[in-house]
């Protein structure tokens, strides 16, 4: 089984050995601060090409100063990072989705030994990085935390948690990472922890008092109004209090964009609401998306019916992923318009197409799943 060669162009993810000569450039003669100011105005999609010009260009493109300058100038761009599981291959694969005339997934490296990749991990986005938290490796839970630096697309090992976790709930509030559950022992004193990226340390929180087994393996959490919602409970970091949700979440795919909660069922019905207490409302204007999901490739069987695989934000837009009948991964990016006078939210499909195709032998058993999708401003 291989991926479409038009998608997996590995030369774009590694430094070409054929680039041996340093090209002269006007930027090479400028002071670093001035050169960074110029490079900050260049689209990030061109940074790879710039890094091939010279060692100085490469150093500046990969520097933290470039990210800080782009942030101060309001020039950061949303990049969508995606992790795919393509079985029978046991190694997850990482990609970046670019906004371009030809949308495609660009491969990035996976952090761990490919023979023992983590599964059943959780992830959060904080500033310019993606933290992959816990999981199952070498047949046991792990306390490992890995950080993908999205400025340079390189991985490093972040400080480990106080306890190993499998499918913990994780979220970011006030610049700190909160992690709950996933422990082997439900009564573990480290059941809830918080990570401070400034001090690079984990601290233990008072755990949910009436927790049960269903509270322990969550996998995903949502942040709304500075509270973390996971499963049937929520946590408020501002006053260190726990509570139970008024009703359980029935939708599997949810994300928060500009303070509003969006959800999607497996057939592409997109809904929204402003708080936990309110009812879901249909996002208007997406009949084409729903028709796409309701169509079947085979009238004799629903085996090949298209199903949503993941929902995520892409900046202020929303993206829906699904797996097609030929094991190709499709994506639709949808812009959202809030019409307050009508009390409605309307969606417009900006584009919809296959972003990767999995080639496989006839009648081979293949399973494709989007493990996570995360939008990072860099």
pLDDT value at 56 more than 80: yes
The reported pLDDT for the residue numbered 306 is 59
User: What does the pLDDT average to over 233-239?
Assistant: 96
Least confident interval from 13-17, 236-240, 350-354: 13-17
- Whether residue 107 is predicted with pLDDT greater than 80 in this model: the reply is yes
**Cα angle, residue 120 at apex, residues 315 and 160 outer, rounded to 5°:** 85
Output the pTM of the full model: 0.83
Beta bridge partners of 131: 124, 147
CA distance 182 to 168: 4
Q: How many CA atoms lie within 13 A of 252 on its CB side?
A: 9
Residue 209 φ then ψ, to 5°: -70, -40
19 is written with which tokens?
A: 């680039």
Q: What would the pLDDT profile of 305-336 be if each residue is shown by its tens digit?
A: 457 789 999 999 999 998 877 778 899 999 99
Residue 294 has pLDDT above 90, yes or no: no
Among left, alpha and beta (phi > 0; psi -120 to 50; other), residue 319 is beta
What CA–CA distances, in Å, run from 350 to 224, 291, 318?
Answer: 26, 16, 10
Predicted local distance difference test score (pLDDT) of residue 93 = 85
Which has more confidence, 11 or 350? 350
Q: Which whole number is the average pLDDT over 52-58?
A: 81
pLDDT number for residue 282: 94
pLDDT band at 296 (very low <50, low <70, confident <90, very high): very low
Domains of the chain, start order: 2-12+28-72 (no CATH), 109-248 (2.120.10.80), 250-378 (no CATH)
pLDDT in tens, 123-178: 999 998 999 999 988 788 999 999 998 888 888 899 999 999 999 999 999 999 99
Structure confidence at residue 22 (pLDDT): 46
| pLDDT of amino acid 297 | 39
Task: Write out the chain in H/E/C secondary structure.
Answer: CEECCCCCCHHHCCCCCCCCCCCCCHHHHCCHHHHHHHHCCCCHHHHHHHHCCCHHHHHHHCCHHHHHHHHHCCCCCEEEEEEEEEECCCCCEEEEECCCCCCCEEEECCCCCCCCCCECCEEEEECCEEEEECCEECCEEECCEEEEECCCCEEEEECCCCCCECCCEEEEECCEEEEECCCCCCCCCCCEEEEECCCCEEEEECCCCCCCHHHCCCCCCEEECCEEEECCEEEECCCCEEEECCCCCCCCEEEEECCEEEEECCCCCEEEECCCCCCCEECECCHHHHHHHHCCCCCCCCCCCCEEEEEEEECCEEEEEEECCCCEEEEEEEEEEEECCCCEEEEEEEEEEEEEEEECCCCCCCEEEEEEEEEEEC
Please tell me the number of Cα atoms within 13 Å of 58 on its side-chain side: 10
**Phi and psi at residue 351, in whole multiples of 5°?**
-165, 155
The pLDDT mean for the chain works out to 82
- HSE-CB at 39 with a 13 A cutoff on CA atoms is 33
pLDDT at 77: 86
Looking at residues 352-356, what average pLDDT do you find? 89
Task: Give yes or no for residue 31 having a pLDDT over 60.
Answer: yes
pLDDT confidence of residue 118? 67
Q: Is the pLDDT of residue 299 over 50?
A: no
Using 50, 70 and 90 to split pLDDT, how confident is the model at 258? very high
């Amino acid at each position: 089984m291989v991926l479409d060669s038009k998608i997996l162009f590995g030369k774009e993810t590694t430094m070409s050995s054929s680039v041996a000569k340093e090209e002269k450039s006007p930027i090479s003669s400028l002071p670093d601060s001035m050169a960074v100011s110029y490079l900050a105005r260049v689209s990030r999609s061109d940074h790879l090409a710039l890094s091939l010009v010279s060692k100085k260009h490469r150093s500046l493109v990969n520097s933290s100063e470039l990210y800080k300058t782009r942030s101060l100038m309001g020039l950061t761009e949303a990049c969508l990072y995606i992790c795919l599981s393509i079985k029978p291959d046991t190694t997850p694969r990482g990609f970046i989705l670019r906004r371009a005339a030809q949308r495609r997934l660009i491969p990035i490296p996976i952090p761990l030994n490919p023979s023992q990749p983590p599964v059943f991990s959780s992830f959060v986005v904080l500033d310019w990085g993606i933290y992959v938290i816990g999981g199952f490796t070498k047949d046991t839970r792990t306390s490992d935390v890995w950080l993908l630096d999205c400025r340079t697309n390189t991985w490093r090992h972040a400080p480990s948690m106080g306890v190993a976790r499998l499918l913990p709930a994780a979220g970011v509030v006030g610049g700190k990472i909160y992690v709950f559950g996933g422990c082997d022992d439900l009564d573990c004193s480290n059941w809830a922890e918080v990570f401070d990226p400034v001090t690079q340390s984990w601290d233990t929180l008072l755990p949910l008092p009436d927790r049960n087994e269903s509270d322990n393996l969550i996998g995903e959490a949502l942040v709304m109004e500075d509270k973390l919602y996971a499963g049937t409970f929520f946590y408020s970091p501002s006053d260190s209090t726990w509570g139970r949700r008024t009703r359980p979440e029935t939708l599997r795919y949810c994300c928060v964009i500009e303070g509003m909660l969006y959800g999607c069922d497996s057939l592409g019905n997109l809904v929204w609401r402003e708080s936990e207490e309110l009812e879901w409302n249909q996002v208007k204007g997406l009949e084409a998306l729903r028709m796409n999901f309701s169509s079947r490739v085979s009238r004799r069987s629903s085996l090949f019916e298209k199903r949503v695989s993941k929902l995520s934000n892409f900046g202020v837009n929303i993206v829906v992923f699904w797996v097609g009948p030929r094991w190709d991964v499709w994506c639709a990016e949808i812009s959202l318009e809030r019409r307050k006078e009508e009390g409605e939210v309307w969606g417009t499909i900006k584009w919809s197409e296959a972003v990767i195709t999995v080639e496989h032998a006839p009648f081979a058993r293949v399973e494709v799943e989007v493990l996570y999708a995360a939008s990072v401003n860099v």
